[in-house]
Chain A
Amino acid sequence: MKIIACYSNKGGVGKTATAVNLAYAFAKNGARTLLCDLDPQGASGFYFRVKPSAKLQEAQFFEDVARFTRAIRASDYDNLDILPANLTFRDFDVFLSRMKNSRSRLKKALKSVKREYDVIVLDCPPNISALSEAVFKAADHVVVPVIPTTLSERTFDQLVAFFRARGLKTGKLAPFFSMVQGRKTLHCETMARMRKSHKNLFLGCEVPFSTDVEKMGVHREPALRYAESRPAGRAYLELFKAVNARR
């Protein structure tokens, strides 16, 4: 089982759109996928029309495996389930450690409902905290959307510095350029500079700034559903292929 975290320490970079389209692409390619909506401001669940469960706010939630598995909702697409949750750090930590531990009650519970997952995609809240540190430890890959602007460059450098300071493997980081506007000289220069300074770290794909992504809120579907052949859709497919190819 692979845990893929979609993370950014800066808001408004297309993180939730990334999580939604990645999860959809994995499921469409046959992987049994669970998308966890962990960002209180995020809207993964919203994009899939899944209503947040009131039960998930309860403190004792993860103590009760049966209630956890009951909170999972099928999306409208094959192989793709959603956990529509706003979790506290404590819950989240327990959640990740149980997902990782093959003998955990959580895994057994998932198995018992014949839904052991091949891929878990986490839509994470945008900050560096004890919570995000737990994510970095548990995830196999940390997919980071980066808008090629000076400010984003700075926050990404901070993230890399944080990884190094805490002894986390920077190899887990899978950054890619998001909301790219090819006509802007600044974008092009920033991308060139960052690819150079973070050798081999950035994925090759670039997701363009696109109304197709913005329209996800209107369609309430992954952009890959209605714009697969358009630039944004193609870019998300490239992103999926790049993440799927990582070990």
Chain B
Amino acid sequence: MSDDLHNSFLLEGPIDWPEVDAALEGLRLVQDHSSAWLRYRLLDCQDQSLRTSGRVLLDYDGALLLLSDSDAPRVQPAAPQGTFPADLPEGPVRALTHKMFPLRCFLIFATGSLQKVALRVVDDETKTQLRVECVTFDGDGTKGRLSLVTLSPLRGYTRAPQRVRAALRGAGATRGSAARIFAALAPEVAPYVSKPQTDFRQAETAFDVAVQTIANYIRVARENEAGVIADLDSEFLHDYRVALRKVRSVLSLFKDVFGIVQTAEMKAAFADLMAPTGRLRDLDVYLMEQDDYFALLPSSLHPGLRLMFETFAAERDSAHAGLAKHLKSRAYQDQITALAAQFDHPGGFVRGEAGAQPAAAYARKLIWKRYRRICKIASGIDETTPDAEVHALRIACKKFRYLVEFFAPLFAGKSAKRVIKRMKVLQDNLGAFNDYSVQQETLLAFVAQSPALRGARGIEAAQSIGALIAILDQRQRDERARVMENFTRFNSAGTRAHIHAICQAKGAQA
């Protein structure tokens, strides 16, 4: 396999090589060697980043083989233990996966046995004109075998690949691709979608959009439950929380779509679902950023910091155990199942006043309103404004982005994506401002409350944390100083025109 998947073919069932040989006219096929049957595992991470980017990762015989629609295959030794890209030995697969999803662990999507056979097409002087590799997969859960044939043409020899291609096509083989290999090896696994898009052909009113969006995100949250319980990687919980947060923002942003009482009930129900997840996520974030914290302080202050992180790590274990127990509990399962059922069969909802409005008009009105709100908050911000106003701007921006995301398919081309992209620098800036502020509060609370901070080690830790807070405070101020500049850059004449164009329809400016 020296080439990308462009030169590969897939066939359900075995390849009839004598038949291929018979079609070669003057050339012939010789088999060099065939491997034993080897166990394989099909790997990807939860959000299937490899599959989505046109790649397939196979783990067999102590090695990792990454096939790609656009690059040559990458091969490297597999990890003796561990499940994260960082656990892999140095190599091309580690380099790529660590860059693509440093926080995610590998999951096994399919297993089975495979056999590799190396063949060549030679002429009457036994000169090689084409190299052929055939991998036969015998999946554990799949019926029948799958053959993946990869041709490695040699320079100057065009007849051999032409004839083999024709023979393979004649036998029913089709062009190979990462997507097709993945689907064939793991037919049960649906592609993972973290940001499901509303199908507006099925959602004509504001009510329809709200129901469909919430149903989609409840599904995303549920897809992440098992990973949170098994504690596979930190991103399961993150995605779980983001999905629930989006549900909650639909409930608060889509005003008057549901009845007032029902809206309040659902808001409370989803807030309750999210409440037990907060502390674990905070601890995850601290522990992930551990190295950065150590880098901020001189090594003389490291022992104190170590004590803090040891305390966090211990607390994380119990926080995770608690959350896992909660997610497995009958009460939680009943509640989320009931909520999901409610949105899958929305007949029982009381519709609010705005529920019947056409989706597009409603979207334009909401987006325009949210945009005006951002502008209003921003116009009041200068050096003297309290931090609370900057936080308000952050929240308004986030809500605006969610809205644009929810309704993105309604707008022509990539106009919604473009608006979101223009906001990115501002949002990162506001996000960092917020993170530094929250981190300081948490550290202060830790100093004030943690029973671990006792005796000489306690004093040492308090000193380290004090120094850390001073640094974080300075960083927060630096971020704050950039907010207005970033807002002005975001809110350029171009962006204004863009948003205006999106929202430009009768009633939008109401």
B and A form one assembly: yes
Q: Are B125 and A74 in contact (CB under 8 A)?
A: no
Residues 90-134 of B at the A interface (beta carbon under 8 Å): 123, 125-128
Q: Determine whether the beta carbon of A72 is less than 8 Å from that of B156.
A: yes
Q: Is B37 interfacial (CB-CB < 8 Å)?
A: no
A68-87 Cβ-contact flags toward B at 8 Å (1 or 0): 00111110100001000000
B154 near A74: Cβ-Cβ < 8 Å: yes
- Chain B residues 433 to 468 lying within 8 A of chain A, measured CB to CB, are none
Which of the residues A49, A71, A220 comes within 8 Å of B156, measured between beta carbons?
A71
Which of A74, A115, A220 gathers most chain B CB within 10 Å? Answer: A74
B125 and A72 form a contact (CB under 8 A): no
With an 8 A cutoff between CB atoms, is B155 at the interface? yes
- A90, CB-defined interface residue at 8 Å: no
A73 near B125 with CB under 8 A, answer: no
Q: Is the CB of B126 within 8 A of A73?
A: no
Choose one: B123, B128, B156; the contact of A70 (CB below 8 Å). B156
Interface presence of B157 (CB below 8 A): yes
Instruction: Tell me if A50 is interfacial: C-beta within 8 Å of chain B.
Output: yes
Q: Is the CB of B127 within 8 A of A49?
A: yes
Chain A, residues 206-247, CB within 8 Å of chain B (1/0): the string is 000000000000001000000000000000000000000000
Closest to A78 in B: B2
Query: Which of A73, A113, A220 sits near B157, CB closer than 8 Å?
Result: A73
- Contact residues in B for A73 (Cβ distance below 8 Å): 154-157
Interface membership of chain A positions 111-134, coded 1 if the CB is closer than 8 angstroms to chain B and 0 otherwise? 001010000000000000000000
Q: Is the CB of B127 within 8 A of A50?
A: yes
The reply to whether A76 and B155 form a contact with Cβ atoms under 8 Å apart is no
Asked if A51 CB lies within 8 Å of chain B CBs, one says yes
Task: Decide if A7 is an interface residue (CB 8 Å cutoff).
Answer: no
Q: How far is the CA of A81 from the CA of B157 in the complex (A)?
A: 12
Inter-chain CA distance A73–B154, complex, in Å, is 7
Interface string of B122-153 (1 = CB under 8 A from A): 01011110000000000000000000000000
Any B CB within 8 A of the CB of A48: yes
The answer to whether B157 touches A51, judged by C-beta atoms less than 8 angstroms apart, is no
Most buried by B among A71, A76, A115: A76
Residues of A close to B125: CB separation below 8 A: 49, 51, 220
Which A residues touch B155, using CB under 8 A? 72-74, 81, 113, 115
A48 engages B156 (CB within 8 Å): no
Binding site for A on B (CB under 8 A): 123, 125-128, 154-157
A-B contact pairs, 24 of them (CB 8 A): A49-B123, A49-B125, A49-B126, A49-B127, A50-B127, A51-B123, A51-B125, A51-B127, A70-B156, A72-B155, A72-B156, A73-B154, A73-B155, A73-B156, A74-B154, A74-B155, A74-B156, A74-B157, A76-B128, A81-B155, A81-B156, A113-B155, A115-B155, A220-B125
Q: Which residues in A have some Cβ–Cβ distance to B below 8 Å?
A: 48-51, 70-74, 76, 81, 113, 115, 220
